[in-house]
Structure 1
Amino acid sequence: MKDTRRDCEVLTAKIMAEFVRDQHPDWLQSYLEGKQDAATSYESLLRLLRRFAYRHGFVQRTSSGLKGKLSDLIGVRDEFATAFKKRFGSYDASWVYNTDETGIYFDTPPSKMLSEKGKIASITAEQKYSARLTAVCTIRVDGLKLPLLFITGRKNRGE
């Protein structure tokens, strides 16, 4: 299993079942003999193989493959780079900025809390929602990193 994933091959319970069918047919035959229905026995085998994989440190994930062919994506990237350099290549490196922003959540309330038996676990509205902070990171093309900019969403309430 680890060799399969190490080689970036797809690993599913169905593929594991095909391996068992090809490499261990005697074991598969004895496993299926104890089952009443062929359809449910196949589902049972898949469930067994999934549990085996979980027990050995594997988890089920959604694949995040490319949406297009790599050669097409490289072509689009190269076309964009050429057009960008043609349009903005005359600018001085100190005039071009690359900026990215990310949200930071803090003071997040726990999803579960202790409360007295028979009483509801109520909290105030201010405790219910976490605070959000936006961090803006900027660097110039010449390599100069600008200080982080923090943006808060809190409104001034007359304080």
Structure 2
Amino acid sequence: MATQGVLTYPKGITHRTRPSIAQKLHAVQIATASSVHHAAQSLGYGERTVRRWVMEQDKLRNFSGSKARKRNTGNCEAVPIIPDGHDLVIHMKDLRRQDLAVTSSHMLQFLRADHTDWIENYKSTRKTGYKSLLRLLKHFADRHGFSKQRICRQKKTQEDLEATRLEFGRYFHDKYHGVAMDTLYNADETGIYVANSESHSYRMTALLTIRGDGAKLPIFLSSVARIELGTNCNDWYP
């Protein structure tokens, strides 16, 4: 358990350097007297960062506030809002080591074990209680180095994937040419995470099935909790 009132960080987290205005102006002074490279090497900043400060030196000098104060840095003797934050980070790292997804709902499930009263009290003091709690947990994850999913380059182009699909289709119909289309099913299993459910926030499994003649079958949902699914919400629901 982490000591109440003392903000601790798990090992391996590197926090970004946040120099004050006075430190930036000092770097600008050295860069002007010698070179940007010399200022960056002697003070430990990146050359691109020092070069940007040199370009913005007029703005830095005209800053009306305290040039020596650092904003949003370190432990300002503030008591952490989330209880047992250190244990929560360890739990999140354990999920990652098991190649499991880490979502705000998973974090909330961990806190429910010992801090139900805190959760209810937090939601009761916010205008949008549950959404505010999820937003708080999301910021907590960002602050401790848990990155979001990002769009990345596909390993294969869409043309290659389409060619593979056509090749498999020709192979299948050549081998099983006598199979009727209304007896052929294409099923795909996918995971669903319910992010806005207060009662059941864990993973469900959905089985999507389409028949060879184009007919869509009802979605089969597998979950520990009892789910009520409305069938009249969308016109496309089979």
What TM-score results when the alignment is normalised by the length of structure 1? 0.40
Select the structure that is richer in strand.
Answer: 1
Highest relative contact order (Cα 8 Å, sep 6+), 1 or 2?
A: 1
What TM-score results when the alignment is normalised by the length of structure 2? 0.29
